[in-house]
């Protein structure tokens, strides 16, 4: 079961201190982020929310170690990583971050299992161990019977679950989900949220990036970003429990 | 990630685009096949010609008037003083350890019988000429010493000449016309096939004295000397110099078989390199084809590269994946090309008169060159792929 407030006392997995990001766009300097200080604790489920253009994506790239800040510090598991090279960041992503993207981003013409194995390939895990762990991860998202299916043979919801399995397979510190329901019908979306909440209940740290208030309220805590700054950080009241929504759905589905 | 993984990923990508992979490979296949085939022809021709020269015997020396340097020569005017029959006799008397001294005149002419005629090379020598000219009598005999001394109008003919003029009849004892004079055919030779000095089957052999009279010459072109054994060549060469220097100073040159061979090998070797170069150009074009396809492939798979980078692929992982793809294409193309080129060369040797010889050296060179083409033309697209920013790559549509 999901328990609110369980994470408050746990250690900090990732922290940003006065992080800023500037870049040039058509010769004009854009301040995408300014003085952003947030902390993500182990076992937490937190949403980063904001409208498009708010700097939410830039913050996600920094939290996901895909990008480096122009100023400020990023602390991952106690180490400052703001000045590492792209290759060093790649290794850290491989070890600490699992990505779930809006558009799934699975390799085409590649089986579900091979897709899930991908992070393990770059981690240098040997063949047998790799397939064992990939199968385990796929079973965890309820796709144990779809191992050999190509992405194109799977529904959107199933593809997103493969992506979640891929994000999980390396036992990362953070699963970073960027608009995970954006390309899904409502039922598949709720299923995906239910899986994320379930994984969080099992102790996995989940960061949700979304513009949708309802999606954001699946988390325990919401960080609102606006105009490149953190506007507010607050605990969610009336948290949406996807499993509950799912239980309410069948009648609706029969009718529609 | 280790090399085996990169290799597996690359193979899977190649298999996913079979038609494209095959077409890209075709460029390399054609290039390598062309290299193997043309170098095979070059080497084959070289082998055959040097073989023919060697077949003449490695104990021959050729004495020619004029001074020739170590190079290809050709910058001299006509030699001021030519050899005469007396020089030949002098050498025969004064140089020890030789089997034969043959004064040789060569001239182009036309030989006629009735209304049929054929262009021939007249090779005139002494009765010992058979020692240096080679060839096997198919019938009759060569000319005799008495006929040389008398300047008799007798001729031995090559197989082509016989076939054209006599068409299956036995030519021995019949008469032919050469330079307006009637000659009696005393012998004819078996076919030798195409050879070093042009077509030996189109040659006719007459006594050197007869040739001087018919062509109105008082000199000979060359004096050919056969040493009793190949080990004595240098000694004989020195003796020839000793005998001729008082008469001609430095105005003559003694070629040994080895020198002639060296000269020929150089020339034919150059020819082989030229053929290899021409074929190499097509291999280069094949390489550019690989580069082109790899560039297309990189931009098509931008998103895949983004995904790989997001889940932890380093620059090196992406680079090696794409380089291995390019090298895989070129190596596979190289292997197929070698098979085709080699097969083509074998067929050519069997069904055409062109001799071919595919050496392990040529195969190895072609193979490594093909692999090198893959690396050279694969690195740039692979480098481009490896430098993609994962954020940009993931957004790419």
Q: What pLDDT shows up at residue B80? A: 60
Contact status, residue A230 vs residue A37, Cβ threshold 8 Å: yes
Give the burial class of B271: count Cβ atoms within 10 A of its Cβ; 0-12 exposed, 13-18 middle, 19 or more buried: middle
Percent of chain A with pLDDT over 90: 79
Low-confidence winner among A213-222, B36-45, B195-204 (lowest mean pLDDT): B195-204
Contact status, residue B36 vs residue B342, Cβ threshold 8 Å: yes
Residue A226 counted as domain residue: yes
Show the tokens assigned to A68: 């480096």
Tell me which residue in B304, B311, B391 faces A122 most closely, judged by beta carbons. Answer: B311
Contact status, residue B302 vs residue B310, Cβ threshold 8 Å: no
Q: What pLDDT shows up at residue A250? A: 67
> Which CATH number does the domain housing residue A209 bear?
3.40.50.300
Question: Is the pLDDT assigned to residue A36 strictly greater than 90?
Answer: yes
Residue A146 counted as domain residue: yes
Contact status, residue B106 vs residue B122, Cβ threshold 8 Å: yes
CB-CB neighbours of A9 under 10 Å:
9
Q: How far lies B289's CA from each of B13, B109, B276, in Å?
A: 17, 55, 20
Q: How far lies B131's CA from each of A81, B134, B143, B156, B342, in Å?
A: 90, 6, 13, 15, 39
How far out from the chain centre does Cα B230 lie?
25
The minimum CA-CA distance between A26 and chain B, rounded to whole Å, is: 16
Q: Rounded CA gap, B76 and B67, in Å?
A: 8
Q: Rounded CA gap, A55 and A25, in Å?
A: 14
Count the residues in chain A: 256
Instruction: Give chain B positions within 8 Å (CB) of A170.
Output: 312
Q: What pLDDT shows up at residue B193? A: 64
Residue A163 counted as domain residue: yes
Strand A12-25: give its sheet, edge to edge. A28-41, A12-25, A71-76, A79-80
Q: Rounded CA gap, A39 and A14, in Å?
A: 6
Percent of chain B with pLDDT over 90: 31
Check residues B226 and B72 and name the one with the higher pLDDT.
Answer: B226
The minimum CA-CA distance between A106 and chain B, rounded to whole Å, is: 8
Interface test with A, best of B7, B310, B387, B393 (most A CBs within 10 A): B310
Instruction: Give chain A positions within 8 Å (CB) of B12.
Output: 110
Instruction: Give chain A positions within 8 Å (CB) of B317.
Output: 122
Contact status, residue B303 vs residue B394, Cβ threshold 8 Å: yes
DSSP-derived 3-state class of residue A203? coil
Q: How far lies A24's CA from each of A21, A27, A51, A70, in Å?
A: 10, 6, 21, 12
Q: Where do the structural domains in chain B lie, given as residue ranges?
A: 3-52+263-395, 82-250
Instruction: Look at A90 and B391 and tell me if their CB atoms are within 8 Å.
Output: no
B235 in reach of chain A (CB within 8 A) = no
Residue A7 counted as domain residue: no
Instruction: Look at A66 and B313 and tell me if their CB atoms are within 8 Å.
Output: no
| pLDDT (average), residues A65-90 | 93
Q: What is the pLDDT of residues A177-190, one digit of tens each?
A: 999 999 999 999 99
A93 in reach of chain B (CB within 8 A) = yes
Low-confidence winner among A60-74, B39-53, B196-210, B363-377 (lowest mean pLDDT): B196-210
A65 Rama class: left (phi>0) / alpha (psi -120 to 50) / beta: left
The overall average pLDDT reported for chain A is: 90
Show the tokens assigned to B161: 């000449």
- Helix axes of A86-96 and B315-351: crossing angle, nearest 10 degrees: 100
Residue A77 counted as domain residue: yes
Q: Which residues lie closer than 8 Å to A179 by C-beta, 6 or more apart?
A: A101, A102, A209, A210, A211, A212, A215
The overall average pLDDT reported for chain B is: 86
Q: How, if at all, do strands A205-210 and A45-49 pair?
A: parallel
Q: Rounded CA gap, B305 and B297, in Å?
A: 11
Low-confidence winner among A5-14, B140-149, B264-273, B352-361 (lowest mean pLDDT): A5-14
Check residues B201 and B209 and name the one with the higher pLDDT.
Answer: B209
Instruction: Give chain A positions within 8 Å (CB) of B311.
Output: 93-94, 99, 118-119, 122, 166
Question: Is the pLDDT assigned to residue B292 strictly greater than 70?
Answer: yes
Q: What pLDDT shows up at residue B200? A: 75
Percent of chain B with pLDDT over 70: 93
- Domain that includes residue A235, residue range: 12-255
E-state strands within B171-269: 175-178, 181-189, 194-195, 198-199, 203-207, 222-227, 252-256
Q: What is the pLDDT of residues A168-221, one digit of tens each?
A: 999 999 999 999 999 999 999 999 999 999 999 999 999 999 999 999 999 999
Q: Which residues lie closer than 8 Å to B335 by C-beta, 6 or more apart?
A: B367
- Helix axes of B257-300 and B360-386: crossing angle, nearest 10 degrees: 30
Instruction: Give chain A positions within 8 Å (CB) of B391.
Output: 61, 66-67
Tell me which residue in B5, B303, B311 faces A94 most closely, judged by beta carbons. Answer: B311
Tell me which residue in B5, B311, B316 faces A99 most closely, judged by beta carbons. Answer: B311
Q: How confident is the model at residue B36 (pLDDT cuts 50, 70, 90)?
A: very high
Count the residues in chain B: 397
Q: Which of residues 288-327 of B touch A (CB under 8 A)?
A: 303-304, 306-317
Tell me which residue in A90, A101, A109 faces B16 most closely, judged by beta carbons. Answer: A109
| pLDDT (average), residues B177-184 | 92
Question: Is the pLDDT assigned to residue A144 strictly greater than 60?
Answer: yes
Contact status, residue A66 vs residue B390, Cβ threshold 8 Å: yes
Q: Which residues lie closer than 8 Å to B217 by C-beta, 6 or more apart?
A: B105, B211
Report the candidate in A166, A161, A186 with the shortest Cα–Cα distance to residue A119: A166
Instruction: Look at A122 and B310 and tell me if their CB atoms are within 8 Å.
Output: no
């Amino acid at each position: 079961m999901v328990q609110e407030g369980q994470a408050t006392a746990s250690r900090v997995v990732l922290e940003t201190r006065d992080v800023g990001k500037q870049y040039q766009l058509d010769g004009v300097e854009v301040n995408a982020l300014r003085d952003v200080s947030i902390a993500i604790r182990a076992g937490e489920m937190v949403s980063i929310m904001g409208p498009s253009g708010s700097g939410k994506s830039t913050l996600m790239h920094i939290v996901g170690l895909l990008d480096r800040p122009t100023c400020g510090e990023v602390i991952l598991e106690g180490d400052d990583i703001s000045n590492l090279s792209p290759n060093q960041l790649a290794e850290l992503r491989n070890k600490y971050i699992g990505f779930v993207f809006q558009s799934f981003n699975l390799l085409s013409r590649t089986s579900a299992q091979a897709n899930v194995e991908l992070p393990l390939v770059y981690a240098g895990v040997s063949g047998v161990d790799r397939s064992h762990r990939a199968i385990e991860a796929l079973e965890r998202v309820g796709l144990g019977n779809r191992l050999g299916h190509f992405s194109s043979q799977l529904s959107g919801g199933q593809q997103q679950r493969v992506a979640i399995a891929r994000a999980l397979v390396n036992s990362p510190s953070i699963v970073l989900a960027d608009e995970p329901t954006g390309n899904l019908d409502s039922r598949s979306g709720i299923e995906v949220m239910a899986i994320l909440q379930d994984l969080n209940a099992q102790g996995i740290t989940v960061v949700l990036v979304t513009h949708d208030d309802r999606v954001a309220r699946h988390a325990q805590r919401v960080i609102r970003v606006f105009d490149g700054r953190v506007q507010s950080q607050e605990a969610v009241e009336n948290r949406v429990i996807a499993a509950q929504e799912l239980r309410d759905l069948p009648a609706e589905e029969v009718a529609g | 990630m280790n090399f085996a993984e990169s290799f597996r990923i690359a193979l899977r990508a190649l298999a996913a685009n079979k038609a494209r992979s095959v077409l890209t490979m075709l460029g390399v296949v054609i290039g390598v096949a062309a290299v193997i085939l043309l170098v095979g022809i070059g080497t084959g021709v070289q082998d055959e010609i040097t073989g023919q020269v060697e077949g003449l015997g490695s104990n021959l020396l050729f004495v020619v008037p004029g001074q020739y340097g170590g190079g290809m020569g050709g910058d001299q005017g006509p030699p001021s003083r030519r050899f005469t029959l007396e020089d030949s006799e002098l050498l025969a008397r004064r140089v020890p350890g030789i089997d034969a001294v043959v004064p040789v005149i060569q001239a182009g002419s036309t030989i006629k019988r009735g209304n049929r005629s054929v262009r021939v090379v007249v090779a005139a020598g002494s009765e010992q000429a058979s020692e240096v000219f080679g060839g096997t009598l198919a019938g009759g005999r060569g000319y005799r010493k008495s006929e040389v001394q008398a300047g008799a109008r007798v001729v031995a003919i090559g197989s082509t000449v016989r076939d054209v003029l006599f068409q299956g009849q036995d030519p021995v004892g019949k008469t032919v016309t050469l330079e307006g004079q009637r000659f009696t055919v005393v012998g004819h030779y078996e076919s030798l096939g195409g050879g070093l000095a042009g077509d030996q089957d189109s040659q006719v052999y007459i006594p050197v004295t007869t040739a001087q009279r018919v062509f109105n010459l008082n000199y000979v072109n060359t004096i050919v000397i056969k040493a009793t054994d190949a080990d004595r060549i240098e000694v004989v060469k020195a003796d020839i110099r000793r005998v001729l220097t008082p008469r001609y100073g430095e105005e003559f040159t003694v070629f040994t078989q080895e020198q002639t061979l060296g000269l020929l090998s150089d020339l034919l070797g150059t020819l082989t390199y030229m053929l290899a170069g021409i074929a190499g150009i097509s291999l280069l074009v094949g390489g550019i084809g690989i580069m082109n396809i790899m560039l297309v492939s990189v931009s098509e798979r931008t998103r895949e590269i983004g995904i790989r980078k997001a889940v932890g692929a380093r620059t090196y992982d992406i680079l090696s994946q794409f380089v291995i793809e390019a090298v895989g294409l070129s190596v596979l193309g190289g292997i197929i090309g070698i098979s085709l080129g080699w097969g083509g060369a074998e067929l050519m040797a069997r069904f055409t008169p062109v001799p071919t010889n595919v050496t392990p050296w040529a195969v190895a060179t072609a193979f490594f060159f093909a692999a090198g083409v893959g690396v050279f033309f694969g690195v740039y697209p692979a480098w481009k792929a490896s430098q993609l920013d994962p954020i940009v790559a993931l957004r790419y549509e």
